[in-house]
């Protein structure tokens, strides 16, 4: 079947099998930031944006993006680079495996949450991103600094 879609702002079209998953489709189209972790919707590694909302590309049929906008880390390089510098400065990048999905969800969270998110709200928003290094404490350190730089102060209540 034929689909037309926007990938990182560029209009494209492709011929696909009906059962192809978005994760595999994106990797076939050069978006290697999108990785397969659990393939059971549990880990968040394959996070991309579908119409500006973070979704798990391992659970979306490629057919579903017909007429829709898909954004991967490749399309958010400047923002991702900025956040990655904060991660590196705190050593929270660790093994790096979860980073692409984590960064995609963080960048979405920054857009969606209020200017004064609580730590609980942040943890809840990022609960779908598993870190096999268990680097959650350092993630929170990074987020506090990054959000402060974005004018969002994390509330402890």
* Residues making contact with other proteins (CB under 8 A): 1, 17-19, 21, 40-42, 44, 47, 50, 53-56, 58-61, 63-64, 66, 105, 108-109, 124-129
CB of 20 to other proteins, least distance (A): 8
Q: By C-beta, is 89 or 155 nearer to other proteins? A: 155
Residue 82 · residue 72 · CB < 8 Å: no
Q: By C-beta, is 85 or 124 nearer to other proteins? A: 124
Residues in the chain: 157
If residue 49 lies in a helix (H) or strand (E), which one and from where to where? strand 47-50
**Which residue is it, tokens 């209009």?**
11
Q: By C-beta, is 9 or 40 nearer to other proteins? A: 40
DSSP state, residue 79: H
CB of 150 to other proteins, least distance (A): 19
CB of 2 to other proteins, least distance (A): 11
Residue 7 · residue 70 · CB < 8 Å: yes
d(CA 135, CA 85): 16
CB of 89 to other proteins, least distance (A): 26
């Amino acid at each position: 079947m034929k689909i037309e879609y926007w990938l990182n702002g560029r209009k494209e079209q492709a011929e696909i099998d009906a059962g192809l998953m978005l994760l595999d489709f994106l990797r076939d189209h050069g978006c290697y930031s999108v990785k397969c972790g659990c393939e059971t919707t549990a880990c968040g590694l394959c996070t991309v944006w579908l119409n500006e909302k973070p979704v798990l590309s391992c659970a979306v049929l490629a057919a579903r993006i017909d007429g829709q906008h898909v954004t991967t880390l490749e399309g958010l390089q400047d923002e991702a680079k900025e956040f990655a510098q904060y991660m590196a400065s705190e050593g929270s990048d660790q093994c790096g495996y979860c980073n692409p999905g984590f960064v995609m969800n963080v960048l979405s969270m920054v857009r969606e949450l209020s200017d004064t998110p609580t730590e609980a709200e942040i943890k809840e928003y990022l609960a779908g991103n598993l870190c096999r290094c268990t680097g959650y404490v350092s993630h929170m350190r990074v987020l506090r600094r990054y959000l402060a730089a974005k004018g969002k102060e994390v509330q402890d209540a």
